[in-house]
Chain A
Amino acid sequence: EPEVTQTPSHQVTQMGQEVILRCVPISNHLYFYWYRQILGQKVEFLVSFYNNEISEKSEIFDDQFSVERPDGSNFTLKIRSTKLEDSAMYFCASSAQLGSFEKLFFGSGTQLSVL
Chain B
Amino acid sequence: AQSVTQLDSHVSVSEGTPVLLRCNYSSSYSPSLFWYVQHPNKGLQLLLKYTSAATLVKGINGFEAEFKKSETSFHLTKPSAHMSDAAEYFCVVGYSGAGSYQLTFGKGTKLSVIP
Q: For residue A91, which residues in chain B have a CB less than 8 angstroms away from its CB?
A: 43-44
* Chain B interface helix/strand/loop/mixed: strand
- Docked CA distance A91–B43 (Å): 8
Q: For residue B99, which residues in chain A have a CB less than 8 angstroms away from its CB?
A: 48, 50, 55-56, 98
* Chain A interface helix/strand/loop/mixed: strand
The segment from B11-19, B61-69, B90-98 found at the interface with A is: B90-98
- Docked CA distance A106–B39 (Å): 12
- Docked CA distance A104–B32 (Å): 14
Q: A31–B100 contact, CB under 8 A?
A: yes
Partner of A3, one of B43, B90, B106: B43
Q: A108–B42 contact, CB under 8 A?
A: yes
Q: A42–B106 contact, CB under 8 A?
A: yes
Partner of A101, one of B4, B49, B90, B104: B49
User: Does B101 have its Cβ within 8 Å of any Cβ on chain A?
Assistant: yes
**A42, chain B: closest CB distance, angstroms:** 5
Q: A104–B41 contact, CB under 8 A?
A: no
User: Does B107 have its Cβ within 8 Å of any Cβ on chain A?
Assistant: yes
Which residue of B has the minimal Cβ distance to A32? B100
Size category of the binding interface on chain A: 20 to 34
Given A43-B90, A102-B49, residue A50 in contact with residue B32 (CB < 8 A): no
User: Does A9 have its Cβ within 8 Å of any Cβ on chain B?
Assistant: yes
Question: What are 14 A-B interface contacts by the 8 Å CB criterion?
Answer: A3-B43, A33-B101, A41-B107, A42-B106, A43-B108, A56-B97, A56-B102, A91-B43, A91-B44, A93-B44, A98-B100, A102-B46, A102-B49, A104-B103
Interface residues of A (CB under 8 A from B): 3-4, 9, 31, 33, 35, 37, 40-45, 48, 50, 55-56, 91, 93, 95, 98-99, 101-102, 104-109
Interface residues of B (CB under 8 A from A): 4, 32, 34, 36, 41-46, 49, 51, 90, 94, 96-108
